[in-house]
Amino acid sequence: MNQPAPLPLVTALLDAPLPPSGIGWLDAMRQENREAFVAGGLPDTRVEAWKYTALRALSQRRFVSGDADAQTRTVDASMLVLPGVEGPRLVFVNGAFRADLSAIDRLPAGLILQPLSQALKGDAEPLRFALSRSASMGHARGASDAFTHINAASAADGVVLRVAAHQKIGAPVQLVFVGAAADASVAWHVRHIIELAEGAELSLVEQHIGSGESSHLATLVSDIELREGALLHHLLLQNASSTDTLIRQSRLRLHTKACATLHVLELGGALVRHDLQAELIGDGAQLDTRGVFMPHGRQHIDTQLAIRHQALNTRSSSNWRGVASDRARGVFRGAMVVAPGADGSDASLSNKNLLLSPNAEIDTKPELEIYADEVKAAHGATVGQLDERALFYLRSRGIPLHEARALLTTAFCRAVLDDLPNDALREHLAELLIAQLPQH
């Protein structure tokens, strides 16, 4: 029997040379993950986690591995500036670290912030466990296996960020990933290792932006560890080029009494997938996630949220809003698991969605599994249109229809941003939301 021809995307990814490191365990791990990618292939819609996100069109495309001219690509420095965010900054353009755009000369005490490529050139052994665990976690849970493996095999750079015990980093740390226009469609991959030691505190701003019509494929994997009593505020702003494909995975582990608050804004990209996995493994750990996804045109934005309570008296609260217009499609899956022994856990999830066009679509799937006693848990999801009575009220006050729709939609989305402590940044995000709305 004739074997089917390899998909162009798979062929292009396999034809790309693996980044050499000269580190035995790392080169072996990269080869193992490439072989796992070959064995598993790309997921299709028969895989439950990819039921609503087909990769047929993407699988027919070819990408060049890396951008040889990334160091000289012109980037408007004003794009990197966010109101209320002044602190250390790492910038990557098409997956390559750009020292000229970064600001890491004067780091506060207790903060280590460097590109993964530089960290590997020094003492790589402390990174071995984190990189190996990060490579295997996605496969163990069946989430984004193919892209997890290709990232582990191909990522030559990324972020290493560590905060020492009981250190409170005052200014936000900014990570910026720019997709810049190139002569060909580029595939680039970055890998992050982030750790807050016992009692450490950090505000982290992660930004994904496009510079020109880049049409790239980017995979990004973050492995975030919060030790006992650590506190993380994490804002993730994704506003990539409208022709880019972004496949991202963020994995958090919260130890005893660790706390994390995430605000996520998904605006750009052609095909965007974000797997956000969190494990509350220490007693009293707390996680709050707040997110907005707002596809328009023919965008496809898919968010997969999975939270696992594994210890006593843990708490999670998730509030996500979706708005789709034109012919766009949004996907949201929120899964909460309270494992055996996680007594006293408190888990809540809400996903509310608006359709601003008869051709727009949002698929939402809340899931809840409880295997412990004395648990509080609630989840719910809705999909609908703007309240006609509210629209009528605003119109009766002389407000034009498109302005009335914009006011109601913005208020709907801002409900998940109101607890963002940075006032200037919160107002900037609100302006981005307004700019994303249909102008008719």
pLDDT range class, residue 345, cuts 50, 70, 90:
very high
How many CA atoms within 13 Å lie on the side-chain side of 227? 14
Q: Look at the block and give the residue holding tokens 């365990």.
A: 25
pLDDT for 5 equals 65
Write out the E strands in 141-254: 157-163, 173-180, 186-196, 201-211, 217-226, 231-239, 245-254
pLDDT tens-place string over residues 408-440: 888 888 888 888 888 899 999 989 988 888 766
pLDDT at 142: 43
**What percent of the chain is modeled with pLDDT above 90?**
72
pLDDT, mean over the chain: 91
Percentage of the chain modeled with pLDDT above 70: 96
91 burial via Cβ count (<10 Å: 0-12, 13-18, 19+): buried
Q: How is residue 133 annotated by DSSP?
A: H
The separation between the first and the last C-alpha atoms of the chain, rounded to the nearest angstrom, is 55
The β-bridge relationship of strands 361-370 and 315-324 is unpaired
Whole-angstrom distance, CA of residue 248 vs CA of residue 271 = 11
pLDDT at 140: 39
Query: Greatest CA span in the chain, whole angstroms?
Result: 71
Task: Please report the pLDDT score of residue 343 as a whole number.
Answer: 97
Give residue 223's pLDDT.
96
Q: Looking at residue 328, what is its pLDDT?
A: 96
Identify the DSSP state of 20: P
- The pLDDT confidence band at residue 143, using thresholds 50, 70 and 90, is very low
pLDDT of residue 1: 45
State the Cα–Cα distance between residues 424 and 416, nearest whole angstrom: 16
Instruction: Identify the pLDDT of residue 118.
Output: 94
pTM for this model (two decimals): 0.94
What's the average model confidence in pLDDT over 318-337?
96
Q: Is 255 helix (H, G, I), strand (E, B) or coil?
A: coil
**Which of 42-51, 105-114, 129-138: highest mean pLDDT?**
105-114
Helix axes 128-141, 24-40, angle to 10 degrees: 10
Structure confidence by residue, pLDDT tens digits, 82-108: 998 999 999 999 999 999 999 999 999
Query: Can you tell me the distance from the alpha carbon of 430 to that of 420, in angstroms, rounded to the nearest whole number?
Result: 11
- Nearest by Cα to 254 from 222, 275, 224, 233: 224
- Check whether 136 has a pLDDT greater than 60: no
Give me the pLDDT at residue 268, please: 95
Side chain identity, residue 355: L
Report which of 321, 18, 5 is spatially closest to residue 154, judged by C-alpha positions: 18
Cα-to-chain-centroid distance, residue 216? 17
Beta strand 346-355 with 259-266 is unpaired
Q: In 3D, which of 295, 317, 304, 319 has the Cα closest to residue 382?
A: 319
CA distance 6 to 333: 30
Task: Count the alpha carbons within 13 Å of 159 in the hemisphere toward its beta carbon.
Answer: 27
Q: Specify the amino acid at residue 395.
A: R
- Give the lowest-confidence range in 82-86, 133-137, 177-181, 192-196: 133-137
Q: What is the pLDDT, as a whole number, of residue 440?
A: 63
Average pLDDT over residues 184-211: 96
How many C-beta atoms lie closer than 10 Å to residue 295's C-beta?
Answer: 29
Tokens coding 9: 């995307």
| Per-residue model confidence (pLDDT) at position 141 | 43
What does the pLDDT read at residue 199?
Answer: 98
Question: Amino acid letter at 221?
Answer: V
- 300 alpha-carbon distance from chain centroid: 15
Among the listed ranges 12-21, 27-36, 65-74, 383-392, which one has the minimum average pLDDT value?
Answer: 383-392
Specify the DSSP element, H or E, that contains 293.
strand 286-293
